[in-house]
Amino acid sequence: MALFSFFAGWIGYLFICLLGLIFIAFLCFCLYIKYIHLKYDHIPGPPRDSFIFGHLPTIQREMSNDRVVHDKFLEWAETYGPVYRINGLHAVMLCVTCPDTTKEVLMSPKYPKSKYSVVLLLHRFFGNGLVTAQNHDEWYKQRRIMDPAFSSLYLRGQMGAFNERAEKLMDKLADMADTNTAANMQHMFNCVTLDVITKVTVTSCYPQIPTLPLQFILSVIKLHLFVNNDTKYKFINEVKKSCQLLRSTGRQWINERKMAVQNGEDVPKDILTQILKTENIANDDEELMLDNFVTFFIAGQETTANQLAFAVMELGRLPEILTKVRQEVDDVLGMKQEINFDDLGKMTYLSQVLKETLRLYPTAPGTSRFIPNDIVINGIPIPAGVTCVFNSYICGRLDKFFEDPLKFDPERFHPDAAKPYYCYYPFALGPRSCLGQSFAQMEAKVVMAKLLQRFDFSLLPGQSFDILDTGSLRPKSGVVCNIRHRGQTPAA
């Protein structure tokens, strides 16, 4: 009994000590938060929801209520100006819409990607590939290796793949027109962009690709990238399995291609071959190869599909713009099926439509940079150690940059129109801009031109035209359309 009392006393004493240590740690954390507040509170910003959590409760409410959190950021930008502060625990982010600072920071390699966005949000999917690499030298090595796969010469050679896969989509839409079946254009565009990215990434493996399982993988991963809804927590194991399956598939294809190279077989000059060239620099780092494989599959697929879906949504609501862009497609292409590289440059109004789509609906809304040294933004001194967020969604909807910003107007991007600088960057800016932006816009042009050439479409009444924010932005209802062959009489 005495022994029991002795141990009980010691346990009670240790428990009290533990509580004391926890209290001291919490107090130190609170003091550090207070220090951060004192350091950055001279910067304008909305009132914090709480001392500890800062603005996180407001952001969480926006996300959990299926609202576009960027609309809240836009509201704050209109209220607090071109640079404002967002607090969360001990971290501070600055939302910047000042063109001069956007140019200074994004165009320079001395401002690395923010470790918070990289580690917390993207690294679990993309590893240390081109999108997430923080060290500039490491990123530059990868970028130098991958550049040839996205050169103008290489992309010209991919026009056959773009046409082939777009024709497959046209065949599906023709069947739906024949059977008077409504088409979910978001889904249709997801299928064709996955088809294209697979074809040009792993040419030799293309016939064996299980399209539907990969489509599920990509949709599940993207669904959970940012959405913080409790009802979706039960799918977390599916997300993990999806990531594992995508990486295991990539590992299999990489090993098969490496074996073919070692055996002296002819291999296609596709993106997978370019990824394998990292072996010469990264000491056969298979994980790095996989990181870039996953990067191109995820980053290169859904964003283009979303852009196409938003474009169809706006064209369906604006018949005068639809008529004008269709006339241009008819003038350039006539009845021919095969679109060549030179045709793309002639469809200037279609380019304007796609650019205006990305102004209103940038499918990847922003990027962030870490500020290692003191700087001045819009006359406000900014101490080092803060993350600056540059949001194309906000800039595209501010009336100081674009007149009547919520109006869909492709004339903003007419070659002779005056354009604000460093306010439109759907693919980011500077050395860390999207490597695949030319690829994406060529693909989008081919698919959209064929759609306009072959079909009439009308939006199904009653659907929502709201935006769903899942990390990338997509149409909430999927843009459901009635599809008809050109000249076909609408069904009664």
Q: Supply the DSSP string of 145-212, one letter for each residue.
A: HHGGGGSHHHHHTTHHHHHHHHHHHHHHHHHHHHTT--EEHHHHHHHHHHHHHHHHHSGGGGGG--HH
Residue 6 belongs to a domain: no
What single DSSP character describes residue 397?
T
- Work out the end-to-end distance of the chain between its first and last CA atoms, rounded to an integer number of angstroms: 91
Residue 259: what pLDDT? 81
Residue 203 belongs to a domain: yes
Q: Do 171 and 303 fall into the same domain?
A: yes
Residue type, 448: M
Structural domains counted in the chain: 2
Q: Do 152 and 93 fall into the same domain?
A: no
Give the domain-ending residue among 425, 447, 471.
425
Residue 157 belongs to a domain: yes
Residue 214: what pLDDT? 56
The C-alpha atoms of residue 32 and residue 82 are separated, in whole angstroms, by 27
Residue 45 belongs to a domain: yes
98 is in an annotated binding site: no
Residue 100's domain comprises 19-110+366-425
**Is there a contact between 417 and 407 (Cβ–Cβ < 8 Å)?**
no
Q: Do 81 and 216 fall into the same domain?
A: no
Q: Do 356 and 379 fall into the same domain?
A: no
Give the domain-ending residue among 379, 409, 425.
425
HSE toward the beta carbon, residue 463, CA cutoff 13 A: 21
Per-residue pLDDT of the chain (492 residues; tens, 9 = 90+): 565 665 666 677 777 888 888 888 889 999 999 999 999 999 999 999 999 999 999 988 888 787 888 999 999 999 999 999 999 988 899 999 999 999 999 998 888 877 665 444 455 555 666 666 777 777 777 777 777 778 888 888 888 889 988 999 999 999 999 999 999 999 899 888 888 888 777 665 555 445 545 555 555 455 445 444 444 555 556 666 667 777 777 788 878 888 887 777 777 777 777 667 655 544 446 677 777 777 777 777 778 899 999 999 999 999 999 999 999 999 999 889 899 999 999 999 999 999 999 999 998 888 889 999 999 999 999 999 899 999 999 999 999 999 999 999 999 999 998 888 899 999 888 888 888 888 889 999 999 999 999 999 999 998 989 998 877 788 988 899 999 998 766 554
Calculate Rg over the CA atoms of the chain: 25
